[in-house]
Structure 1
Amino acid sequence: MLSGILFALAAGLMWGLVFVGPLMLPEYPAALHTFGRYLAFGVIALPLAWFDRAELRRLTRADWLAALRLAAIGNVLYYLFLASAIQRAGGALPTMIIGTLPVVIAVSANVLHQQRDGRLPWRQLTPALGLILLGIACVNHVEWQALVQNPQADKQRYIVGALLALGAVACWTWYPLKNADWLRSHPDRNPRVWATAQGLATLPLSLLGYGVFWLWQAQSGSAFPMPLGPQPLAFVGLMLAIGLFASWLGTLCWNAASQRLPTALAGQLIVFETLAALAYAFALRGHWPEPLTLAGMALLVVGVIAGVRVKPVRG
């Protein structure tokens, strides 16, 4: 149990990195953060693919198309939304919105897969959802007040950032549901090999996206220095770090935690990612969160834990 919790904590600490990458290099467009991250992840997946080459050969054309769809929406489009949201609204609010995913996914599954997975009683889910919304409202109030007090702040940019974070939630609500559908319909396939296949599918997508963005920058006459921007060593290092630690090692630690912990407990420990991301964001700001922000974080954690503890009912 203890080793499982430590593995989950390690995964959360590494996954939190993806929320601060756009803040560490704010002059880089969100598209470069996205394509750079998944280009690094795709390169890391290549040696893994060599070890799983026999299993990968079993995948059909339909399987590879499914992996491509999952990679496009669950990886590239999700992080494009998230990085754009963070650069516009800061780290706190988008992180809190993304932190609702465990319960949002449960609610979506409750609507779409009642017959297969059982039904979550809405009466038990409602208090958890109320706590989550109240927590987000607390953090949003603090961030909005800071904007109001800053005459140079762009309020419209903040609102767009919040909407983009909702787009990221939509992408990553769709992804685990569709991914679970594929895994359940292919019980003879190794989940690790399927993850590697998605990494391989991400590589051509990120290469294409990087090339198109480079071409668009050249055609628009942008002064941004392509292909690696004004801080090439920092950019390459950050992309490799996020690709290695967040995309690969973080998932490896999470899988190790999932093997050691009950599913209900593992679901609750996803909040480590949210807490780590918020801690990193406020560390970059150089000050402690406001008391109301801390209260909002606590409400979110309690709400997510309460939500994932609700058991499905058959029939």
Structure 2
Amino acid sequence: MWIGTLFALAAGLMWGLVFAGPQLLPDYPAAMQSFGRYIAFGLIAMPLAWIDRARMRELTRADWIEAAKLGLVGNIVYYLFLASAIQRAGGPLPTMIIGTLPVVIAITSNLRDAARDGRLPWLKLLPSLGLIATGIGCVNQVELQALRADPAADFGAYALGGALAVGAVACWTWYPIRNADWLRAHADRSPRAWATAQGLATLPLAALGFALFWAWSAASGSAFAMPFGPRPGLYIGLMLAIGLLASWAGTLCWNEASQRLPTTLVGQLIVFETLSALAYAFVLRGRAPDALTLTGVALLVAGVMWALRVRPEPVAEATVHGA
């Protein structure tokens, strides 16, 4: 149990780095950060694919197309939304919105697959949803107060950042459900090889996106210094670090935790990612969160953990209980 929990903590600490990237590179367009991260991840996946080459040969053309779809939505578009959201709204609010993912995924999955997996009864979920909404509201209130105190603040950019974070949630709600569908339909395949395949399939998409962004920058007369921006060492180093630690090592640690811990507990420990991301955000701001922000974070964590304890019920029984 302790080893599994430590693996989950390590995964959360590394996954939180993806939220720090846009704050460390605020002058870099979100597209540069998304394409750069997944070029790095794709390059890291290449030697892994060679090691697993026997498994990789089992994948069909249809499998590679599915891997490309998953990589496009769950990797590139997701991080494009997330990086854009953080650059416009700061770290705390997008992190809180992304922190609702375990609940959103559980609800979406159970609504879609209710006949097979059962349905989460709404009446039992209402308290947790109320806690989550109140927690996000607390953090939003603190951020709005800070904006009102800043004469140069852009409320429109802040609102757009929140909307982009919701878009990121939509991408990463679709991704794990679609990914689980493939894994369930191909129970004889290696999950490790499938993750590597997604990294490889994402590489050409990310490289093409980077090239198109470079061409667009040149055609529009942008002053941004392509290909690696004004701080190439930091940019390249950060993209490699996020690609290695967040995209590969973080997932590896999470898989190790998943093998050691009950599924219900693993689902709750994903809050380590949210807490790590918030901690990094306030470290980079150079100040501690105030009491209302801490209250909001506590409410969010409590709401997620409460919701993940609610078990699906057979459809007929769930209907009786108000689903």
Q: Same fold (TM over 0.5)?
A: yes
Q: Which residue of 2 aligns with 1:256?
A: 256
Q: Distance in 2 between matches of 1:161 and 1:122?
A: 29
Give the match's secondary structure for 2:312: coil
Spell out, residue by residue over 1:262-299, the C-alpha distance to the aligned partner (whole angstroms, 9 max, x if none). 00000000000000000000000000101100000000
Q: Distance in 2 between matches of 1:281 and 1:259?
A: 30
Give the match's secondary structure for 1:189: coil
Q: Which residue of 2 aligns with 1:95?
A: 95
Q: Distance in 2 between matches of 1:176 and 1:122?
A: 22
Q: Which residue of 2 aligns with 1:280?
A: 280
Q: Distance in 2 between matches of 1:118 and 1:70?
A: 26
**Is 2:194 the counterpart of 1:201?**
no
TM-score relative to the length of structure 2: 0.97
**Is 2:87 the counterpart of 1:107?**
no
Q: Distance in 2 between matches of 1:204 and 1:126?
A: 43
Q: Which residue of 2 aligns with 1:78?
A: 78
Letter in 1 for 2:208: L
Letter in 1 for 2:224: F
Give the match's secondary structure for 1:194: helix
Q: Which residue of 2 aligns with 1:169?
A: 169
**Is 2:146 the counterpart of 1:146?**
yes
Q: Distance in 1 between matches of 2:20 and 2:134?
A: 24
Letter in 2 for 1:217: S
Q: Distance in 2 between matches of 1:201 and 1:155?
A: 38
Q: Distance in 2 between matches of 1:44 and 1:126?
A: 43
Q: Distance in 2 between matches of 1:181 and 1:259?
A: 20
**Is 2:28 the counterpart of 1:28?**
yes
Letter in 1 for 2:44: I
**Is 2:188 the counterpart of 1:188?**
yes
Q: Which residue of 2 aligns with 1:55?
A: 55
Sequence identity percentage:
69
* Structure 1 residue 170 displacement after superposition: 0.2
Mark the runs of 5 or more structure 2 residues left unpaired by the alignment. 316-323
Q: Distance in 2 between matches of 1:155 and 1:279?
A: 24
**Is 2:316 the counterpart of 1:311?**
no
Q: Which residue of 1 aligns with 2:40?
A: 40
Q: Distance in 2 between matches of 1:284 and 1:240?
A: 20
Q: Distance in 2 between matches of 1:116 and 1:241?
A: 40
Q: Distance in 2 between matches of 1:229 and 1:306?
A: 44
Q: Distance in 2 between matches of 1:116 and 1:162?
A: 34
Letter in 1 for 2:140: N
Instruction: Please show how residues 13-24 of structure 1 align to structure 2 within 5 Å.
Output: 13-24=13-24
Q: Distance in 1 between matches of 2:123 and 2:198?
A: 37
Instruction: Please show how residues 290-309 of structure 1 align to structure 2 within 5 Å.
Output: 290-309=290-309
Q: Which residue of 2 aligns with 1:12?
A: 12
TM-score relative to the length of structure 1: 0.99
Spell out, residue by residue over 1:225-251, the C-alpha distance to the aligned partner (whole angstroms, 9 max, x if none). 000000000100000100010000000
Displacement over 6 Å in runs of 4+: none
Q: Distance in 2 between matches of 1:74 and 1:173?
A: 9
Q: Distance in 1 between matches of 2:214 and 2:11?
A: 33
Mark the runs of 5 or more structure 1 residues left unpaired by the alignment. none
Spell out, residue by residue over 1:93-118, the C-alpha distance to the aligned partner (whole angstroms, 9 max, x if none). 00000000000001111211101221
Q: Distance in 2 between matches of 1:96 and 1:165?
A: 9
| Aligned CA-pair RMSD | 0.6
Letter in 2 for 1:313: E
Q: Distance in 2 between matches of 1:307 and 1:261?
A: 18
Q: Distance in 2 between matches of 1:285 and 1:231?
A: 20
Letter in 2 for 1:299: L
Q: Which residue of 2 aligns with 1:237?
A: 237
Letter in 2 for 1:197: A
* Structure 1 residue 120 displacement after superposition: 1.2
* Structure 1 residue 314 displacement after superposition: 2.5
